[in-house]
Structure formats: C-alpha cells, structure tokens
Chains A and B, each alone.
Chain A
Amino acid sequence: MMSRFIAVLSVLLSILALGACGVTAEPTSAIMISDPWVRAAVVVDAMPEEPTAMSMSQDGAMADEMDHNNAMGSTSAAYMTLRNTGDADDALIGATTDVAATVELHTVERDGDVMRMRPIKQIDLPSNGSAELKPGDYHIMLIGLKQDLQTGDSVTLTLTFQNAAPMTISAAVHQP
C-alpha cells in the first residue's frame, strides 16, 4: 500500500516539476530552430544554352570554354541554431531543398591554418542541448545550385531528424 502511494507520488511530483518549467506534456516536435539563413551565392558554372556574354567579351574566353565541360555545380550553405527541448537525444540526419541538386551535412575541421571540410552523417542534438550551425563549423551544404541566391530571397528547407518529425522552414538569404 505504501509503495503504491509512493509510486503515485513520484508521478505527481514529476508532473509538477515539469509543469513548473513550462515543458508541455504533449510530445510535439522537440526541436526548435532559430535564426536560419542561407549564404547568398551565384551560379558560376553557366549552362551551355546560356552563353556568358560577360566572359566571352574578355580575353579569358578561351579558358572559359572549359566551363561547360566542368559543370560541377555551385554551392552555398545554410546555417541556424537547433535546440532539442525534449528529454530524448536526437540528431539532424539530412535536409532537402528545391534550390540545389544535393544537400549534405558538413563540418569544418581546423588544423592550424588549414581548413578541411568534411561530410558527416549527422549533427547530434542531445536532449536539452543544442547545435550551432555557423560559418567555419557545422553547415548544411547546398551542392549544385539551380538558381542564384540573392540577398532578400528566401529558401525553403526540409530537415529530417533521427526521432522528431521532419520540419520545413524558410531561411532568409544574405551575406554573413
């Protein structure tokens, strides 16, 4: 009898304690995203059907013809702060957007003055922890831009997580 009372007390106290700090019992997505932004970038590998008048008129026109064989894509990156307000660990495991052919999660390893950008499988979001995606650090890399990204534009990104439901967000485009 006593043990049952204590077990009930435990649950009640837990609810009270949780209530006190404003954590809702409803398990919606535990991920909160703040200050998302995407770096302004231009498509530099012009497609063959749209000749680049600017570069053709220059002496560099010869070298420029190589561009068309090397359409390897232009890049940009998305940054934001991700906060896991839940009490279970989670991780950002991927992202998609309409403005780029491929999206990858990357980090930058600094080795003295040498910077090594590396693809990573996930960005950990420990319970009640956060991860900051910022220049020179974690970023969501956009590879193969389909359009110029100008300051003032916005980019829609869908983020996928290990546990939380996917989230679609809008990120403003600007220079750092």
Chain B
Amino acid sequence: MRIAFPRNIALAIALLGVGLALNACAATEAPAIINEEEAAFSAGTAIDPPRTLSDFTLPSTVSPTLSLSDLRGKVVLLYFGYTFCPDICPTTLAELVHVKRMLDADADNAAFVLISVDPDRDTPGVLTRYLAAFDPDFIGMSGDDQTLRAIGSDYGLYYERRADLATSADYLVDHSSATYLIDQEGQLRMVYSYGTPPEVIGADVQDLLR
C-alpha cells in the first residue's frame, strides 16, 4: 500500500527530521548542565560588635557534661547537625578537618564542636564513633530541646524533626547549617554559611590566635 503525502508535508517532515538530528548533535556536544546552583563563595558574616553568648551545659564526648565556658581560652568552631545526616553535616565536618590541618600546631588552641540537634540518635557514644572518623579531637555534644531552645536565638538556630516525609528513616531533621566562630572570651565573631571555603575560616581562626 502506498502512502502519498502531499509534497509540502513530506518536505516539512524531511526538514523536521534533519532538524531533530542536528539538534541532537548540538546538545551532545554541549551537554546541558542542570543544577547550576553552587554554594556562594562567602567570606562569612562578621558579628560586630561581637556577641556575648549564653553559657550552656550538655552531655559530651570529652566529659559527662561540658559547658561552652569550659572552652574559654580557645577559639571555637561550632556546628549544629546530626549524625544521621549523610550530606550537609559530613561535608561541613570534612571542611573543618581541612581548617584544623591549616592551623597545624595552633590547632591545640582551637576546639571543633558538633552539637547534635538529634539527641535521641546522637548519644555521646554515637558521637564519639562518628567524629573519630573525621578527627578524634573533635568534640560532640548531645543537644536537648530545652537547652537548644534556650540558646537558639544566640545563633539564629532553626531545627525541626520531620517524621512526615516519605522516607524509610524514622525521621529527618531540618536544621541550620551555619558554622560559628567563637573567640577566646566566648564571644560570637563570625557566622559562615554552608559551602564557605575552609581557607576563609582557617584564616579567621589564625587571626584570632595571633
């Protein structure tokens, strides 16, 4: 059986075929990149004048309880997160490992602290095992709701347990992902967004240690 297309339609089909094929070509040579969105390179936000932080005490990996004031005399890099987080938290901690390496011998005068916003999962024992994979000197603290609520405004801290998501995990925790620089007197000096290069953070710590 013959199918006789009118001439103009056949011509259109022919051109379309070529067009599609050529189009495929061009796209193959210059593949479209999705998710261009990159973490903005940031120098961090200076807290000026430095903000005096409320003291707090929590169960920790270095002693049954640890207070922020116990770290006076050291420069502190503080991060709120949780061990079940596979992405943002370990990425930040890996960057803090770079910061610590940058400091070299000065690292003795700095403390790296993860405060868990998920104390049900993150007991001091869990935090010890988790942090050892990054740096055994990193300190973990199990934040309880009462304490986190009391100190949250100092940091603009947000966290929320989400048990309503379509995941096999019992729950996930939405949370602030900033890193906080606290000076030797316990005052908040800088806030770094997720993705701030470790070199930027390291240089600020070195400035405080000078």
Contact = CB atoms under 8 A, between A and B. Distances in A.
Interface of A: 2-4, 6-7, 9-11, 13-15, 17-18, 20-23, 39-46, 52, 54-55, 58-61, 63-64, 66-67, 70, 72-77, 83, 85, 87, 102, 104, 106, 108, 110, 113-119, 124, 126-132, 134-139, 141-143, 175-176
Contact of A75 (B25, B63, B86): B86
Contacts of B14: 6-7, 9-10, 13
Contact of B25 (A3, A23, A142): A23
Contacts of A22: 28
B172 to A, nearest CB: 5
A80 to B, nearest CB: 13
A64 to B, nearest CB: 3
A17 B27 CA distance: 13
Given A60-B124, A119-B166, A130-B34, A41 B178 contact: no
Nearest to B21: A17
Contacts of A115: 88, 174-177, 194
B24 A64 contact: no
Contacts of A6: 5, 7, 10-11, 13-14
A18 B17 CA distance: 10
A139 B87 contact: yes
Contacts of B31: 83, 128-130
Contacts of A127: 24, 27
Interface residues of B, number: 73
Contacts of B132: 42
A60 B128 CA distance: 10
B202 interface: no
B120 interface: yes
Given A59-B63, A128-B27, A10 B32 contact: no
B105 interface: no
Contacts of A126: 32, 34
A41 B15 CA distance: 54
A6 B11 CA distance: 6
Contacts of A75: 84-86
Given A21-B24, A128-B24, 10 more contacts: A6-B11, A14-B20, A18-B21, A85-B28, A113-B194, A126-B32, A129-B32, A130-B32, A137-B37, A175-B97
A135 B124 contact: no
B56 to A, nearest CB: 17
Given A9-B14, A132-B33, A143-B168, A114 B174 contact: yes
